[in-house]
Every structure is written in C-alpha cells, then in structure tokens.
C-alpha cells in the first residue's frame, strides 16, 4: 500500500513538472528594430526578429535599429550598432521597446546623437529600468563580423565598457550599408516578413516555378532583390537562412 501511495505521489509530482509553462515573459520591438540575440543565442530560437518569449529572470537581449530610409531621391538601408540590454523579467511580464518614428536618414543621424527609446512594461504601465551597452562602429561588410565574440568581450566582467555602462538609454552608432546591397536588401525584407511570407519565400527560392500563396510588399521586394543578386549573394543568403 505504501508503495502504491508513493507511486501516486510521484506521478502527481511529475505531472506538475511537465505541465509547467516553458516561457513566462515576452519582449517585443517595433518593426524598425530587430532582436538579434537572447543570451547570445539567435532570436530565432525563441520566436522571431520582433518578439521573443523567454523564462522569467535576468536576460541579455541584443537589439538594433534596422530600416530602409530616404536620403535625397535614394533609399538606403540604415542600421545602428548592436545594443546590449540587461533586463530583469518577472513571471507574466510583457516588455515593449518604444521608439520615435524615423523615416529619413537625417532623422536617424539626429537620433543617433541623442538616442531616444524606452522599454515599457505593458502589465503595470510603467517604464522599465535597464542597463545598456553598444558595440563600436566598424567599417566594411557587416555580415563578416562575429557579433557574439564582440558582445562577449564587451560584457566581460573586467571590460571597461561593462563597468562604465550607462543605464539611461542606448547610444547606437549608425552605419550605412553599401557593400553587397542585394544581399542586405534580401535579408532586410525577409526580416520584415511574417511567418507565412517567410515560409513562401523559402519555398520560392528552392522552386522558381512555385506560386506564393501570400501577396505583400515584403515578398515583392525580396523577389526584386533576389533577381538582382549574383550567385555569390544568393549562396550567402541560403547560408544565412539556415543559421
């Protein structure tokens, strides 16, 4: 009888474990930003580029401003340097990054000198305290950078940047992407797409006879730049999609 009772108790305890929710908090950014990493893992492991579900507790989230902007009569992709955020999440919290609307290169450059964004707690209606650090600007093609290694060095306990980090807001240093434009544009429009569009995009890449089931500007622009891309850019894109 005692054995049977112990078995029942163990079964109840095990059921309690397996029914616990895996994620307890959410972090979301506007479409003009992207979530690059959560605790140095790609955001794709947690959700997508704009919203992630994570466990409660302390987390390091890396974001950056990432948008096509008008400059004169041209359109250019504008990215900030990655911004490392240290945030504390409680159970069932929902944090949202809120930033001013930016539509031109001039506005982006002005905002870079005095960055403006807040992190808002949707549950209690208050702004959230956080610590931030930014990577330094580097020239050249950004896809070749090892961001994870750079972030590890930046946030190391003995790093000068780590000990002197500001908690008042981000200070991203913007850059204009000029090398391998087709690849950058394909990545940009893929990141701007929803899950259904991304699925259709991947199928279309593999089968050029496939007719996508969705119709939106994100897919159209991706196809436009894909058709302009050379073999090396397409090969680099496919490697990027499976990372």
> 49-85 pLDDT, tens per residue?
899 999 999 999 999 888 888 777 777 788 888 889 9
So what's the pLDDT on residue 42?
86
* CB 30, CB 98: distance < 8 Å: yes
So what's the pLDDT on residue 163?
46
> 208-224 pLDDT, tens per residue?
788 888 888 888 888 88
> 150-170 pLDDT, tens per residue?
989 888 876 555 544 444 443
> 90-143 pLDDT, tens per residue?
989 999 999 888 888 788 777 766 667 889 999 999 999 888 888 877 655 555
Identify the DSSP state of 72: T
Q: What is the mean pLDDT of the chain?
A: 77
So what's the pLDDT on residue 143?
59
Residue 88: strand pairing partners = 58
So what's the pLDDT on residue 59?
93
Higher pLDDT, 242 or 113: 242
Question: Model-level pTM greater than 0.85?
Answer: no
So what's the pLDDT on residue 133?
84
So what's the pLDDT on residue 58?
92
Rounded CA separation 61/161 (Å):
17
> 169-196 pLDDT, tens per residue?
433 333 333 346 788 888 888 888 898 9
Rounded CA separation 228/180 (Å):
11
Q: What is the dihedral of CA 134, 136, 142, 145, to 10 degrees?
A: -90
So what's the pLDDT on residue 13?
46
């Amino acid at each position: 009888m005692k054995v049977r009772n112990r078995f029942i108790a163990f079964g109840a305890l095990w059921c309690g474990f397996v029914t616990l929710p895996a994620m307890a908090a959410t972090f979301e950014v506007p479409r003009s930003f992207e979530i690059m990493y959560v605790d140095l893992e790609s955001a794709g492991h947690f959700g997508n580029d704009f919203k992630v579900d994570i466990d409660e507790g302390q987390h390091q989230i890396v974001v950056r401003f990432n948008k096509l902007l008008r400059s004169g009569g041209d359109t250019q992709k504008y990215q900030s340097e990655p911004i490392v955020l240290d945030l504390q999440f409680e159970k069932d919290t929902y944090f949202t990054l809120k930033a001013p609307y930016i539509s031109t290169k001039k506005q982006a450059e002005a905002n870079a000198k005095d960055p403006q964004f807040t992190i808002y707690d949707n549950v209690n209606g208050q702004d959230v305290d956080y610590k931030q650090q930014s990577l330094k600007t580097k020239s050249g093609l950004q896809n070749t950078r090892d961001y994870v290694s750079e972030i590890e060095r930046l946030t190391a306990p003995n790093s000068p940047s780590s000990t002197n980090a500001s908690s008042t807001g981000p200070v991203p240093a913007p850059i204009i992407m000029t090398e391998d434009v087709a690849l950058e544009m394909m990545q940009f429009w893929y990141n701007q797409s929803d899950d259904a569009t991304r699925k259709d995009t991947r199928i279309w890449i593999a089968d050029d006879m496939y007719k996508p089931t969705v119709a939106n500007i994100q897919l159209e622009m991706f196809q436009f730049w894909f058709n302009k891309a050379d073999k090396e850019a397409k090969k680099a894109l496919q490697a990027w999609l499976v990372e």
